[in-house]
Amino acid sequence: MSLTAELKAFADASVKRHPGEAQTIMKQAIDDLVATDMIRNAYKTGDTLPEIVLGNALGNEVKVNDILKTHKVIIAFYRGNWCPYCNIQLRALQEAVPQFEAKGAKLVVIAPELPDNSLTTKEKNELTFEVLSDIDMIVARNMNLVYKLPTELQELYKKFGINLEESQGNAKHELPIAATYVVEKDGTISYHFLEEDYKLRADPKDILKVL
């Protein structure tokens, strides 16, 4: 099953698990985000990637621009380990890593969570790609990818047991939109996927086509 099909199947099941008001609140939040037209100002194909220096899940500093000296880079922005759609996406990306690397590309995932919250210990020890912590979303904000959750959605997330203040280490209640980029060695973005609907993500097969 492709990532796109898997995400749709999960989303369809979610409607049955959380019917009624929850669906209305989540859909309204997406519609309101679309209405802001924020994607118009986000980094896109043809732009030059800004310098990115962030800590990884093990607390080590990673300079994305150094990776670009030897490889293309695929950058995927990740909402958090609490997000099931993000976890489905990460599993699909992990499965595609050998194919990415065969085409000379390295995968980097950027999350707004504190390093201790970004992944489980098992995942940290088995990673074959970098997961970087963008605390306060400095990088995502610079690339115009950040939005604030409306109050109703904040309250709904709390009912679901999602504590963004704890996972991110701040009380901003902000997240990055679903964004994936392919960056050439010279720093030029050659592919972008930008979507206000968090249920939609760049499919690895589409990423492979542009590598």
> Residue 95 is part of a domain; what is its CATH number?
3.40.30.10
Cβ 53 vs Cβ 61: under 8 Å = yes
73 HSE (CA, 13 A, CB side) = 29
Predicted pLDDT at 144: 97
Mean pLDDT of 83-106: 94
Domain interval for residue 156: 3-210
Indicate the burial class of 41 (C-beta count within 10 angstroms; 0-12, 13-18, 19 or more): exposed
Q: Where are the beta strands (DSSP E) in 25-71?
A: 53-56, 61-63
H helix or E strand, kind and range, residue 206: helix 204-210
Answer yes or no: is pLDDT of 121 > 70: no
pLDDT one-digit tens code per residue, 66-77: 999 999 999 999
Average pLDDT, the chain: 92
Predicted pLDDT at 57: 80
- What three-state secondary structure class fits 119? coil
- What three-state secondary structure class fits 111? strand
Distance, first Cα to last Cα, the chain: 21
CB proximity list for 142: less than 8 A, separation 6 or greater: 50
On whether the pTM is more than 0.85, the answer is: yes
Indicate the burial class of 1 (C-beta count within 10 angstroms; 0-12, 13-18, 19 or more): exposed
Predicted pLDDT at 23: 92
**Locus of tokens 């595609």:** 96
Of residues 208, 210, 188, the one with CA closest to residue 92: 208
**Number of folded domains that form the chain:** 1
